[in-house]
Amino acid sequence: MIDPARPPVEHPPVAPQPAVEHTPAEQTECSRAGCRNDAVWALRWRNPRIHAADRRKTWVACDEHVVYLREFLSARDFPVEVAALSSPRA
Ligand SMILES: [Zn+2]
């Protein structure tokens, strides 16, 4: 039964689903769905419509998908910063 007093829940406009909501520091696998490559980039972004100004989400991406993910976010007018992941891979 749908309660007519309650509007339907709005789905967030973000389509791709990173595996985790918050990114542990040790995550090194690309956030692109289905990609298992080592991530070498970190994308810090927020959705101004649902996130507070100081809220940041982090995706990580391999060389191949960093452009895709950055374009995906910037196409939605989400502020996004891309930084190289410092991976101590000695
Ligand atoms: Zn990838």
Query: Per-residue confidence at 15, pLDDT binned at 50, 70, 90?
Result: low
In a domain, 14, yes or no: no
Q: What is the DSSP string of 21-64?
A: SS--TT--B--STT--SBP-EEEEE--TTTS-TT--EEEEE-TT
Q: How far is the CA of 20 from the centre of ligand 1 (A)?
A: 15
**Is the pTM here over 0.75, yes or no?**
no
More confident residue, 2 or 47: 47
In a domain, 5, yes or no: no
Ion ligand 1: protein residues whose beta carbon lies under 5 Å: 30, 32, 35, 37, 62, 64-65
Contact call for residues 79 and 45 (beta carbons, < 8 A) = yes
In a domain, 75, yes or no: yes
In a domain, 16, yes or no: no
In a domain, 6, yes or no: no
Residue 52's pLDDT is what? 85
d(CA 62, CA 10): 31
In a domain, 28, yes or no: yes
d(CA 39, CA 3): 44
Tally of domains in the chain: 1
In a domain, 82, yes or no: yes
Domain that holds residue 82: 23-90
In tens, the pLDDT along 55-81 reads 899 999 999 999 999 999 999 999 999
In a domain, 10, yes or no: no
Q: How far is the CA of 7 from the centre of ligand 1 (A)?
A: 37
d(CA 48, CA 86): 27
